[in-house]
Every structure is written in structure tokens, then in C-alpha cells.
Amino acid sequence: MYFGGSFTWGDFQFLLYGAATTIAITLVSVLIGTCLGVVFGLIRSGSPWWISNALGAVLDVFRSVPLLIQLVLFNSFNSILKLNWPTFAVGCLCLGIYASAFCTEIVRSGVGAVPLTTRRAARSLGLSWLQELTSITLPIATRVVFPSWIGLTLGVMKDTALVLWIGIVELLRSSQIVTSRVQEPLLILCITGLIYFFMSFPIARLGNQLEKKWGMQ
């Protein structure tokens, strides 16, 4: 089956395979980044200043150094330390830590948005720290940070394009391979862009629907 020129159905399937890899990397990276971000965000918002600032300084490194450099360094250390991790795991770990650096500040701002009087009132009613956190603070903070978290997720999905530099064949790398064979870069880039759009659009729409359901719009 031909779409035009020498671009075939097999080429399109190859792009879809790359898209599946992109989605898998995004899901794992966002999961790692969110879990670490929640833990680090709670530490930064509730710990003494010297712990909060020390952790913030470490995370600032990951926020400041370009992701491409981090990917190359992570992959190099994987070889130097002879860990023999697959490049997929290296890419997910690097992206996850990178995302956690941003998610930490998102969570910290969300917790900070919960009025201190509300938290004190919950504690005065006899709730423990954990009960107050899970029943009062986190539900309120989640509504505050959700739009930013959706934006972070979409950003991570686009950042997965950089993992091609450590040898992972995701969507962008797949498009490069197909382009080198078909020699129709404009067509391939248009198709690749549409695939990225169809992967990102449901996430954005889901975010909008949840915001409306929660009365945030």
C-alpha cells in the first residue's frame, strides 16, 4: 500500500512503532518523575531550611543542565560503571529524574497554596500529620498543581525526542530513518508532527475535562 511517492504502509507502521516507544518512555519517565517529585516536594515544603535548600540546589543542577547533556552523561556512566542497563532504562531514568526536578517545585507550590490556617485547623481537630496530609493538604494541592503537571507531561513527551542520541529508536529517530530511505523529508515530518499531535491531544483534553469537573475553570 502506497501513500504517495515511495512512502509505504510499512514505513507508516515503522513510525507507529517509534510512537509506541515514545509513549512507553513518556509513561515510565512521568511515573518516576511524579513519584520522586511528590516525595521531594513534600520534603522541601516541610523540612528545615538547610535540608530544603540543599535538596533544591541538587535539583537545580538537573533543571539547569540541558537534557541532552544529561542523557549522554547517564549513558556514559552506564558504560563506565559497567551497569549494562538497556538504553531504554537509561533514557527513562534520566528523563524521570529530569522531570522530578520540575515536579518537585510544582508540588511544593501546591502544598504552599494550602492555607496554613486550614492545616492548623485540621490538626486541632485531632488529625495526625499523615491524616491531615492525605485528607486535606494533598487533595487541595492536587487541584492547584494539576494544570502544571499536565504541561510537564506534555513537555516530557516532546523531550523524548532527545533519547535518539543514546540509540533509542523513538518517533523522531524513526522519521529520520524513513526519510533517509524515502527522501521526502517534508512529507515524513508532516506525518510525524501529526502523530505527535494525536498522542498529545488526548492528554490535553483529559486535563481540560478534569479541570472542569473539579471546578477549576
pLDDT band per the 50, 70, 90 thresholds, residue 1: very low
> Where along the chain do its domains lie?
15-213
pTM, whole model, 2 decimals?
0.92
pLDDT band per the 50, 70, 90 thresholds, residue 169: very high
The amino acid sitting at 211 is E
Cβ proximity of 168 and 75 under 8 Å: no
Domain 15-213 CATH assignment equals 3.30.1330.10? no
Q: State the Cα–Cα distance between residues 165 and 184, nearest whole angstrom.
A: 22
pLDDT, tens digit (0-9, with 9 covering 90-100), for 96-121: 999 999 999 999 999 999 988 888 88
pLDDT, position 4? 52
pLDDT, position 122? 85
Q: Which residue has the higher pLDDT, 210 or 42?
A: 42
- Residues 6 or more apart in contact with residue 168 via CB below 8 angstroms: 21, 25, 87, 88, 91
